[in-house]
Structure 1
Amino acid sequence: MSTTTGPIPRLAPIPVVPTDVAVRPSAAAARPSALAARPSSGETRPRRDPLRIAAQLSPLLGLGLSITLVWWGLDTGVLRSLENLQVFIGSLGAWGPAVFMLASAASVVFPIVPAGLLVIAGPVLFGPIEGTLYNYLAVSAGSLLNFAIARHVGLSLIERIFAPRTVEKFLGWTRSGHFTRAFAVAIVLPVAPDDLLCYIAGTTRMRWRTYVAIILLCKPWALIAYGLGISTLILRFLPW
């Protein structure tokens, strides 16, 4: 029995890739996916602190409010002369001193209007004795409130209202063993940032009675030197 054998078919050679040649990925694989580069919907941008924004914009608000009051006073004649202004304040009765002290105390806690301007305005509006007394009551009340707020909240609120660099600068005072003495001297001087220092004092171990004694005993000298002194110069040299 014979078998017939045909030609054996040839198989195509298998291509061999050299091992020393790197395989280049395709362009589609090399290009990053747009969805991968895009942040996921769960990621949110950091929110801006509304209190910090309000603290930064408060000087502009106070300036705008001051300009509006000056324009109104000139238009109505209240600011045409010192006599007209004092007559207007007297017509308000008890509301005049109450509103002034409330605004002055509020400006110590949150500086919408610089407290120094109101300290100068006190003797001009109410006379040297009553104006200085109203300044003393209002500023002391605001300073005590600053201490109480800082004692319960801490540095987190202070750094949101004031610039962090400024806060860190005056925090160095608290690391000294003579902080209480330095704080008392700063309260006496009319050029020290009293509002910030009162907040910072609330974050220390200073006792309430020590703080109250410093404010009540040292604050009048700064008010007399700054408020009464500058207001006297203004009334003397300002042709009003």
Structure 2
Amino acid sequence: MKPYSKHIVVKILLGLITALSLGLLLYYAADIIKIMSSMDNFRAYIHSTGHWGPVMFILFQVLQIVVAPIPGEIVQVAGGYIYGAALGSFYTTVGLILGSAIAFYFTRFIGRDFVSRLLQKQNVKWMSFMQDERKFSIFLFIFFVVPGLPKDMLVFVAALTSISSLRFFTILLVGRLPWIIGSAAVGSTIQTQQYTVAIIISVIAVIGFVLGYIYKDKLINLFSRAEHANKTPKMEEIIEAVETKEAKENKETNKVISAVKAKAAPALNKSRDIATVKNKG
């Protein structure tokens, strides 16, 4: 089988798997909504699965990343509510990595055209200028750190850019881990009825969310202006500059060689004349 044929087959198989997964998700949508209606319902369902509880919790976190309508805050807080701050943060982080990996690699290798059209329909103009990996890395970090910004959508957007996988997932963890731990801590304090601590953490989170939502456009515009002011040359520009410099140096070298030849020509001609006379003699 030719390489391009294998690529097409892989795309078809993964497309069928995706369609089947979405079909199952829609079929069980009512049950999922009921389970996610409250943390008590969610905890009861997770406990009812026995030893599979952590796996099911991670699966819900994966779905939260891949399927935007599922509220991530409920899952993250519920992690601490069910398993405590430490384990809740761990399971949530595992789900975050798996869900982000599915969304990222699906978009990059299979659904690039589909996601591009979807984002165009959503009119995501403020993401279109982030094509440079260095600039986009800073952009991602700001979005992942500041609450109230569309973090899950950024996973799909990042896959459309040239950012490396290692860089993306490093930024993802560094930016989102503090808020995951904070959410799990809120859930843990609610479960242990330490409501004062839960209220303090929640108020800080809400303030951060509101400020992030209000000033997100200003942050983006400020970042954009700063990047344009300190614009670094692209690789193509660097190569062109080097080639131009080399061309100029070669031109100067050729001029020097031509000048040396011109100066040496009379002496060479005289030597040839002397040699000719001697030969005749």
Q: TM-score range by the shorter chain?
A: 0.5 to 0.7
The equivalent of 2:93 in structure 1 is 136
Specify whether residues 91 and 136 from structure 1 end up closer, same or farther in structure 2 by C-alpha distance, changes over 3 A only: same
Distance 2:49 2:111 in 1: 39
* Mapped contact 2:144–2:172 kept (Cα < 8 A): yes
Structure 1 residue 106 and structure 2 residue 72: aligned? no
C-alpha distance after superposition, 1:20-50 (max 9, x if no partner): xxxxxxxxxxxxxxxxxxxxxxxxxxxxxxx
Higher relative contact order (CA 8 A, sep 6+): 1
Q: Deviations over 1:135-177 (max 9, x none)?
A: 0110121112222122113543225656723433322344796
* 1:215 lines up with 2:153 in the alignment: no
User: Relative to 1, partners in 2 of residues 1:190 and 1:140: Cα closer, same or farther, differing over 3 Å?
Assistant: farther
2:184 is aligned with 1:228: yes
Please state how far the C-alpha of 1:211 moved relative to its aligned partner. 1.3
| TM-score, structure 1 normalization | 0.57
TM-score by length of 2: 0.50
Which amino acid in structure 2 is aligned with residue 231 of structure 1?
G
Q: Within 2, Cα distance between the matches of 1:179 and 1:70?
A: 34
The answer to whether the 8 A contact 2:84-2:185 is kept is no
* Structure 1: gaps of 5 or more residues: 1-50
| Of 205, 219, 222, the match for 2:162 | 205
- Would you say 1:115 and 2:72 are equivalent positions? yes
Task: Kindly indicate whether residue 92 of structure 2 is the aligned counterpart of residue 165 of structure 1.
Answer: no
Larger Rg over CA atoms = 1
Identify, as 1 or 2, the structure richer in helix. 2
Query: 1:181 and 1:70 mapped to 2: Cα distance?
Result: 34
Letter in 2 for 1:197: L
Q: In structure 1, what is the Cα distance between the partners aligned to 2:173 and 2:33?
A: 33
Residue of structure 2 equivalent to 1:68: 34
Counterpart code for 2:137 = T
Contact 2:82 2:188 in 1 (8 A): no
Given that residues 85 and 184 in structure 2 are in contact (C-alpha distance below 8 angstroms), is that contact kept between their aligned partners in structure 1? Answer: yes
Q: Does 1:194 align with 2:151?
A: yes
Secondary structure of the residue aligned to 1:178 is helix
Q: RMSD value over aligned CA atoms?
A: 3.7
Identity of aligned residues (%): 21
